[in-house]
Structure 1
Amino acid sequence: KSLAAKSIAKILKWPLIRFDVGALKGSLVGQSEANMREALKVIENCQCVTVFIDEIEKQFAGVKSSGQTDGGTTTGMFSRFLTFMQDTTAQIFVVATANDISQLPPEMLRAGRFDTTFCIMLPTLPERKEIIKIMNRKYSADVPESYAKKLQGFSGAEIELLIKESLYEGLGKAFESIIPLSRSMREQINNLNELAQRYRIANTQEVLPVQTRKIKRSCL
């Protein structure tokens, strides 16, 4: 997911700003909200930037119980951020990633908040071959692309780990030592697929190539 955000910034040829909500929180009353306003003002003044919010459901965790836990600080920061997304006219592209969108407040998912929402699923066979090719170049390895057939259910990070480990243990032992999350957390992965279907979120395999789509202002 993080790589997708970096790729968007590269396609747009805009600098990438990593937006860390937790780093804005202060110990004094009103400091967190003031930091949020200042950070958003800096972003707005930058113009032509890609703003990356990683694991947004954790960044704004506790919004629902904010009144009881932090005196409404998180709710205030969240409200300020939503207002910024709604009202800003600056050339800003907001990219947010989430592992579990069911944890997001409803206000974040309502129509018009994000222009596009899509689900990044496990790589297909052609994508696994391409990942092997890229990682072979990165680590000076020689894993055959045909090995991609054995890697069904492997994520990109797991394929990278496999290629790194193969340099020390050999490909066979490296393959046996890695248990992909799609196997160890099968139920959670299936729930993610069902959640994507429930919210009618497009799978990345169904999304048109970027060259044929008009770039919008934000995506989740």
Structure 2
Amino acid sequence: MNNELTKQIFSLIKLNNKLIAVESPLQERLRLLTNLACECQRLDINCYLWTLEDDQIHQLVVNQETLALQTVDQYQAIAKNRREHYFEILRFWKTTDLQGILILEGIFPWLGESNTDPDFFLTSEWIKSALINLKLYNYKANKTTILLGPNASLSSDIAPEVPTLIQQLPTIEEISTYLPQVLPDSSQVKIHAIAIASVGMHLADIDSGIQQAIAPEITPDELIKKLSAYKIDLLRRVYNIEFLQPPTISVGGLELMQEAFRRYKRLLTSLAQAYNLRLPKGILLIGPPGTGKSYSAKACSQQLGLPLIILEWGSFRSYGNLAEYKLKNLFALVDRINHIILYLDDFDKGFAGDDDLSKRLAGMLLTWMQERKSEVLIIASANNIEWLPPELTRSGRFDEIFKVDLPNYGERHEIFTLHLARFDTRFHNGGDAYSEDEWKRLLKATQRCVGAEIGAIVERAAISCFCQMFPDDVLSVSELPPLEITLSALLAARQSMNPLAIREADKVESMRNIATLQGQPSSPIDSSIYSLGNVDIFG
């Protein structure tokens, strides 16, 4: 909460720190400024605010918990006559008789790592020099300068001179303490559940979510549901991630991996923790595209009952200079939510360029994985493990590596029945409509198809059978006849598709071979009735 951040700021001031950097999100700005102004009034200290937007100084005053801004004419008179530099505020604060705390908002872009533009570079160097001189000149004066912004990134030459405070996301306990101030009386009984639904948001975001959700006679459960939906949308917009509650899905095959997931669930118990047992640092899923790596992450979420954050690791490269800032905030979010699964999709694509940015992001990930204390399970998927830095794949980072291969005969049977049950009621509740010989014919025809391709084959066949049932445009029928998918429709759909493992046989086989060397199998040896078994080539 901002109250805690305010305490940290004044602790640094008491230690005679004249320059302090504070990273705080924009939505929390009003609350932070109000808290700072209140504390200054309590200590009889003047508090001023300068913003880049209007180049004016305002004194912050709180009347009945409402923040007011009073223009400081002394600066306006000087600044009006001295416009040779836009950051005249730095000269003014160094020599003025005014004392107290000056908050500079919007100055961080000039304090980061060097820019290639000459004008920007010269301005940046001037500002850094002016800040250091400000610190030295006012060392014995009752003046403190606070640099405020949403991204407090400081270059290496000035970072040692400026202690940095970062406003953290509120904890469940802090949210629970705050919620009674904004919740209707009817929802007070489920404060803890509402707090859990709110974890991962700042207080201002929680305010907005509750205000949008509250309606006459809304129940606490409905409020939780709407607040969760608001959070999911917010996380998608702010962090570019997908946040999923544990899904209800069925998985075909990959039994060894599923057994590992069930074992992880036991490691979450207090009994396992009493023996100092923990979840793996990370799990790496490797294999050709479409074999079910993303689906496996959702299956793990279901098995463990933990929410799932899906992140395309390669997307961070598009942020450029902001990539490290974005990643740092994401790690803070994951740590705060705590019991969660972080799934890094297409992990290898983030390292395809092998440039400095990729190496820095990898370093941040390694440091976080090594030092974090939160109960977060990291799952990453990769098609080309050779693109990953070797230090990422050693034990202690990704403790378990699973090879997710092309499905065998028995697994393809399971995958087919799962997809067929979506359209054909004959396959509900373990039902079947094909003979053993028909299944063997279908499974042989789809020998190198992955799960995603099997799903597409079933859907194409379902469309074909539907069009045969209703050859003309029929708007409605009095009684809906069942849709029965025929074997011939499935075989025809297969013939219209050229699987990836056949189109790109060399690449896929290379991926499979490397995955075999690096990972443990995620599927047992096929023991189903559809298995080809051991073939004796000597007859």
TM-score (norm. length: structure 2): 0.35
Q: Distance in 1 between matches of 2:516 and 2:312?
A: 29
* Bigger-Rg structure (1/2): 2
CA deviation after TM superposition for structure 1 residue 32, in Å: 2.2
The match for 2:494 among 175, 179, 191 is: 175
Is 1:124 the counterpart of 2:124 in the alignment? Answer: no
Q: Distance in 2 between matches of 1:76 and 1:149?
A: 47
Q: Distance in 2 between matches of 1:161 and 1:35?
A: 36
Identify the residue that residue 203 of structure 1 maps to in structure 2. Answer: 521
CA deviation after TM superposition for structure 1 residue 153, in Å: 1.2
Identify the residue that residue 216 of structure 1 maps to in structure 2. Answer: none
What SS is found at the alignment partner of 1:117?
A: strand
Identify the residue that residue 68 of structure 2 maps to in structure 1. Answer: none
Identify the residue that residue 215 of structure 1 maps to in structure 2. Answer: none
Code of the aligned partner of 1:49: I
CA deviation after TM superposition for structure 1 residue 117, in Å: 0.2
Greater strand percent: which structure?
Answer: 2
The 3 A distance-change label for structure 1 pair 25 and 166 is: closer
Code of the aligned partner of 1:53: L
Identify the residue that residue 329 of structure 2 maps to in structure 1. Answer: 38
Matched ranges for 1:157-196 at <5 A: 157-169=452-464, 170-196=489-515
Deviations 1:2-41 (A, max 9, x none): 00011011111000011244258535x4x32222111101
The 3 A distance-change label for structure 1 pair 122 and 203 is: same
Identify the residue that residue 69 of structure 1 maps to in structure 2. Answer: none
The 3 A distance-change label for structure 1 pair 42 and 25 is: farther
Matched ranges for 1:10-29 at <5 A: 10-21=302-313, 22-23=315-316, 26=319, 29=321
Q: Relative contact order (alpha carbons < 8 A, sep ≥ 6): 1 or 2 greater?
A: 1
Q: Distance in 2 between matches of 1:197 and 1:20?
A: 25
Contact kept? 2:445, 2:494, Cα under 8 Å: no
Query: For structure 2, which runs of at least 5 residues remain unmatched after alignment?
Result: 1-292, 427-432, 465-488, 526-539
Contact kept? 1:54, 1:97, Cα under 8 Å: yes
What SS is found at the alignment partner of 2:406?
A: coil
Query: For structure 1, which runs of at least 5 residues remain unmatched after alignment?
Result: 67-72, 208-220
Identify the residue that residue 210 of structure 1 maps to in structure 2. Answer: none
Q: Distance in 2 between matches of 1:14 and 1:141?
A: 31
What SS is found at the alignment partner of 2:492?
A: helix
The 3 A distance-change label for structure 1 pair 4 and 80 is: same
Code of the aligned partner of 2:377: F
The 3 A distance-change label for structure 1 pair 102 and 141 is: farther
Identify the residue that residue 8 of structure 1 maps to in structure 2. Answer: 300
What SS is found at the alignment partner of 2:422?
A: helix
The 3 A distance-change label for structure 1 pair 100 and 34 is: same
Q: Distance in 2 between matches of 1:152 and 1:168?
A: 23
Deviates most, 151-160 or 133-142: 133-142
Contact kept? 2:317, 2:358, Cα under 8 Å: no
The match for 2:396 among 112, 130, 138 is: 112
| Cα RMSD, aligned residues only | 2.2
Identify the residue that residue 362 of structure 2 maps to in structure 1. Answer: 78
Identify the residue that residue 89 of structure 1 maps to in structure 2. Answer: 373
Contact kept? 1:122, 1:153, Cα under 8 Å: yes
What SS is found at the alignment partner of 2:309?
A: strand
What SS is found at the alignment partner of 1:139?
A: coil
Q: Distance in 2 between matches of 1:206 and 1:113?
A: 25
CA deviation after TM superposition for structure 1 residue 159, in Å: 0.9
What SS is found at the alignment partner of 1:158?
A: helix
CA deviation after TM superposition for structure 1 residue 141, in Å: 7.2
Code of the aligned partner of 2:319: G
Contact kept? 1:132, 1:148, Cα under 8 Å: no
Q: Distance in 1 between matches of 2:344 and 2:409?
A: 29
Total equivalences in the alignment: 197
Q: Distance in 1 between matches of 2:347 and 2:397?
A: 14
Contact kept? 2:339, 2:375, Cα under 8 Å: yes
CA deviation after TM superposition for structure 1 residue 43, in Å: 0.4
Deviates most, 45-54 or 189-198: 189-198
CA deviation after TM superposition for structure 1 residue 65, in Å: 2.4
Q: Distance in 1 between matches of 2:351 and 2:506?
A: 25
Identify the residue that residue 50 of structure 1 maps to in structure 2. Answer: 341
What SS is found at the alignment partner of 2:342?
A: strand
Q: Distance in 1 between matches of 2:401 and 2:369?
A: 15
The 3 A distance-change label for structure 1 pair 20 and 159 is: closer
Q: Distance in 2 between matches of 1:150 and 1:173?
A: 10
Q: Distance in 2 between matches of 1:93 and 1:181?
A: 31
Contact kept? 2:415, 2:454, Cα under 8 Å: yes
TM-score (norm. length: structure 1): 0.81
What SS is found at the alignment partner of 2:399?
A: coil
CA deviation after TM superposition for structure 1 residue 92, in Å: 0.4
Deviations 1:165-202 (A, max 9, x none): 11234333212111222222221222122212333x11
What SS is found at the alignment partner of 2:341?
A: strand
Identify the residue that residue 65 of structure 1 maps to in structure 2. Answer: 355
Contact kept? 1:118, 1:203, Cα under 8 Å: yes
